[in-house]
Structure formats: structure tokens, C-alpha cells
Amino acid sequence: MRIAWIDRDQSATSSEHREQEDCRKLLLAALNGDWENARAIIEKDPARMLSANLTKGEDKVIHIAVTAKRIPFIKQLVDLMSEKGLILNIQNYHGDTCLSIAAVSGKVEIAELIMAKDNANQLLSIHGIYELIPLGMAIRWGHGEMAHYLWDKMELEPHSCLSSTTPDLMKLFIMSISNHLYDVALRLLNKDMEMACKRDGDQKTALHVLAQKAPDTDPPIKSGNWPLFSSSKKRIKFGFVVSFIPKFKGFCKQASTRTSSELERVELLENILNELQKKSIEEISEILKSTSSEVVKTTTTEVIKSTTSEVVKTTTSEVVKITTSGVLFDAAMSGNVEFLDKVLRKFPSLIWENDEKDRSIFHVAIKYRQEKVFNLIYNIGAVKDYLVGNKDSDGNNMLHLAGMLPDDQERLGVQRANLQMQRELLWFKVFLSTKICLPF
């Protein structure tokens, strides 16, 4: 009896070892696109080997092949799975299907091979890592072509999960803007125009994200005044070359040379602003605010006296501190002059908005050395005389801010001390020469 027990134990160990070896070989075959060796291993026990976990993340052979982008291997594999009557919706530890991983890869050809099989449409609505459907993964990884392909497939479904009631829709909308997929964002916005003014889980609106997306090239800003303001032709340019230039033509890219992505970004911004115009001025001001909460811990000590002794009682409380800045100031900090121009043309009264430190957008532009944003001050006529005299909560006017080192040193790059000093002196001298600010 003792000998038989040992034999059974050894047999189980040997079987487990063979299975591990098969999994190892299958993993290598999938990574290398070696279909002949992979097929030989799978044919030993198709149901078991096709669903075997080959990694700690519980990736199956189909996940590995798609990750490795082995297209001929994938074609043979999905054909075999279809032949054996096995469905493609098997998931790894994170819940990813083969279509989810294909979306991350950005290879539309792989997605086409998968979607050509029966019942593959169910993969479109399965949530994987980050609780995203395949379309969401394509958007998150910035694959526009894949996103449009998956979108078109979802639109063909009788019960498409893309509707105004879809919980994922707002997340996908904000994500598409963050990843510069403005054409996808436009399609999503057309599904639900109310998203133009909605906040996501992080309390951000589409405008908050767009405000920080300054174009890589200078945009075409219309010369002339904003509504309610008179104009001035005087412009200033800061930097190592100091000069006065007429209007905005010296740094504005012409519309005819703009890329399709830039045009889509502008169209998206204008559509959002058109929706915003339907709101009251109070609602607009609230929507444009950026609200972030910070938990601040405060500790208090209390001495409790009794008839026999004194007891020191320490309590810690948490208070949620709300800080508000706004879309306009995010745009001013990032140098998004086109965004500011379009917003202020639509809503000129917002020129009087201040951030949490009582700074106008022009104070912020000076602080962060955004000369092109500051040049917009010449579009507001006599109103600038009121704004330039304002002081922030620290008592600093525009001239004081011009004399301070910018907060965002990383934006300026790593500079030697003498070069940085030269740049800062030029900035201050040119600003002083404009004579738009009181020298105290």
C-alpha cells in the first residue's frame, strides 16, 4: 500500500510537470508566432490548452498572440477556436478579452480578424482593465483609427452601449480630449450635447481639459477688438529678441496651414461654447471654475482638569479644504491664447474673473511668462487701465510679478544662471517699457 501511494504521488507530480512544460512551450510559440509547434501542443487537449493560464496575469494563448501582434498566428488560432466551438470572450485576470488587447495594440487588422467570427460582437461591451470597454482602451492609448473602427462596429449593434444614458460616455469623452482624439470627441458629444457642460468623476469639464491643451503651433487669432472693448494695434514680444510688432500676425499660424486635428479641436471648442451660451452667467461662471478638494488634518490639544489630576487630550480632525481656480487661468498658465480669445469673445464679462489669489488672467500670464497671452490685453481697450492697477492677495501688482522668478521653471528648461538672469532682465525691462502698469 505504501508503494502504491508513492507511485500515485509521483504520477501526479509528473503530470503537473508536463502541463507546466506544455504551457511554457505554448507561451514561447505564441510570442514567436510559431503556429506549427503551438498547434501540436493545443491538439493534445484543445479545451484545456486554449484556456490554460500561461502567465501570472492569467493570460491565455489568444491574449499572448494578440499582445505579440503575430497576425498570421492569430488568424490560425481564431479559426481553430471557431472550429472547436470555443468562444473568444475568455478573459485574463484584469478582465481583458482578446479584443481589449487588440484595442491597446492599435492594430485594426487584428480587431478585424477577431470581429469576423460568430458572436464576436459581445466582446464590444465587455469591461477590462480600468473598467474600460475596448473602445475606451483604444481612446486611452490614443489609437484614433482603432477607436473609429470599434465605434462603427458598436453602431451596428441593435442595442448599442453608446447612448446618452451610457455611464461610460462622459469618461470616454474627457479621455478622448485628453489624448487629442478630437474627432472621436466630436462624435461622442453629438451623442449627448449635455456633456459640453457636465463634470466627470474628477470634477472636470471638457473646457478644463481643452484649456490645458495649448496648440503646438501659434493659432490664428483675429485682430481687432473683443465685444464691448475698443482695440489697440500695439503689441509686445518678450524674449532674447525684443521688438514691437503690429497685430498678431508675427506669431499667428494661418488657418490654411492647420492640420485636421487642429481644426477638429477648434470645432469641438466652438460647439462646447455654443452650448455654454445657453446657460445663465451665474451657471457659466460656476462651470468654468476648477474645484479640487484637499483633506487638511488639524490637531488640537485640550487640558482637562479634574480634582485629582490634569489630563491632556489630543484630537485630530479632518477638514475638506475647497480651492477654486478656473478654466481661464489654466489656459493662461499653459499659454493657450486661442482658447482665451474664443472664450472671451463669446463671454467678454469673464475678463473681470479673478483666481483664488485675486489675479486676472493677465497677472497669471505675467507670472508664468506667457507673453502671447499677455498681448490679449490690447484687445480690451480702456478696461486694461482698471485691471493693471489691481493687486493680488499678496499685494503684488503686474510689475511685481514681472520682477519675480516664474513658478514654472520646468517650462523654461534647464538654463545656466547667467542666461536665465539675462532672460528675466529682458522680460522685466520690456514689460516696464510698456508703461501700462504703475511702478509701485
Q: What is the pLDDT of residues 138-172, one digit of tens each?
A: 999 999 999 999 999 998 876 666 765 566 899 99
Distance (Å) of CA 399 to CA 387, 427, 438: 12, 11, 8
Mean pLDDT for the stretch of residues 130-135: 94
**Which residue, among 260, 259, 239, has the nearest Cα to 251 in the 3D structure?**
239
Return the minimum-mean-pLDDT range out of 17-26, 170-179, 292-301: 292-301
Residue with cell 480632525: 317
Phi, psi of 299 (to 5 degrees): -115, 130
Q: Report pLDDT for 304.
A: 46
Q: Report pLDDT for 214.
A: 74
**Which residue, among 205, 191, 229, has the nearest Cα to 345 in the 3D structure?**
229
For residues 321 and 202, which has the higher predicted lDDT (pLDDT)?
A: 202
**Which residue, among 380, 388, 385, has the nearest Cα to 229 in the 3D structure?**
380
Task: Determine contact, residues 235/244, Cβ cutoff 8 Å.
Answer: yes
User: What is the residue-wise DSSP string for 134-184?
Assistant: HHHHHHHTT-HHHHHHHHHHHHTSTT-S-STT-THHHHHHHHHHHTT-HHH
Torsion of CA 73, 77, 79, 84, to 10 degrees: 160
Return the minimum-mean-pLDDT range out of 232-241, 334-343, 390-399: 232-241
Say how far apart CA 49 and CA 60 lie, in whole Å.
8
pLDDT higher than threshold 50 for residue 246: no
Q: Report pLDDT for 375.
A: 81
Q: What is the pTM of this model?
A: 0.77
Q: Terminus-to-terminus CA distance in the chain, angstroms? A: 101
Please report which confidence band the pLDDT of residue 194 belongs to, taking 50, 70 and 90 as the band edges: very high
Q: Report pLDDT for 272.
A: 96
For residues 327 and 87, which has the higher predicted lDDT (pLDDT)?
A: 327
Please report which confidence band the pLDDT of residue 233 belongs to, taking 50, 70 and 90 as the band edges: very low
pLDDT higher than threshold 90 for residue 401: no
Mean pLDDT for the stretch of residues 336-340: 92
Mean pLDDT for the stretch of residues 101-128: 95
Return the minimum-mean-pLDDT range out of 53-67, 298-312, 345-359, 392-406: 298-312
pLDDT higher than threshold 60 for residue 5: no
Gyration radius (Cα) of the chain, Å: 30
Say how far apart CA 321 and CA 310 lie, in whole Å.
34
Please report which confidence band the pLDDT of residue 240 belongs to, taking 50, 70 and 90 as the band edges: very low
Residue with cell 449627448: 192
Q: Report pLDDT for 332.
A: 92
pLDDT higher than threshold 60 for residue 2: no
Q: Report pLDDT for 183.
A: 96
Q: What does the block give as the cell for 285?
A: 461662471
Residue with cell 509521483: 10
For residues 227 and 426, which has the higher predicted lDDT (pLDDT)?
A: 426
Q: Report pLDDT for 417.
A: 58
Mean pLDDT for the stretch of residues 19-26: 94
Residue with cell 528675466: 424
For residues 250 and 299, which has the higher predicted lDDT (pLDDT)?
A: 299
Q: Report pLDDT for 28.
A: 97
SS3 298: strand
SS3 26: helix
Q: Report pLDDT for 231.
A: 42
All structural domains of the chain, each given as residue ranges with its CATH number in brackets, are: 2-164 (1.25.40.20), 236-305+312-433 (1.25.40.20)
Which residues touch 320 (CB under 8 Å, ≥6 apart)? 293, 294, 295, 296
